Structure 1
Amino acid sequence: MNLALNDTVCMEKYLELFAEKYPDDLHIIQLDNRPLHQSLNMSIPENIIFLFQPPYSPELNPIERLWLEIKRKLKWEIFENLEQLRKR
């Protein structure tokens, strides 16, 4: 099974379980514009709607700011192991 298909199968199962757990609510799931998210050929439960972010809008995805900060702080550093990284 290729990676994209595996991601699709996992996402479908997650959505199915989530929709079943909260059947009386409408759920909006925000996704970035990753090509994989746009090309997914999967069944989506009726109580779930995908909302895609506009292209090139990292400000709408807070984790992107965190990654930028981590990269800035760790730039040019080499760690021998995970423990060194944790201490940093």
Structure 2
Amino acid sequence: MNELELLGPRAYGDALGCAALKATAEDFQVDEVLDIPLSGDGEHLWLWVEKRGLNTEEAARRLARAAGVQLRTVSYAGLKDRQALTR
């Protein structure tokens, strides 16, 4: 028995089809677009990161640990969906 059968009889006959939304991270992709130029000068390091299956905070935590810096020194542009492929 599937989920639709649990709903009981339908007023207009059988369902015409079924769908799976966001079955894999690749089904939902997010690319961050910056509206500021990156000059390569200055005291900050800019990283391009691709992640899947991680929320933004956990990704920042792992980056901080890998770089040997405190989490508060890692910043990011917005929160991204954990169930997505985000860049």
The TM-score, its normalising length taken from structure 2, stands at 0.25
> Higher helix proportion, which one?
1
State the structure with bigger RCO (CA 8 A, min sep 6), 1 or 2: 2
Larger radius of gyration: 2
TM-score, length basis structure 1: 0.25
Structure with the higher fraction of residues in strand conformation: 1
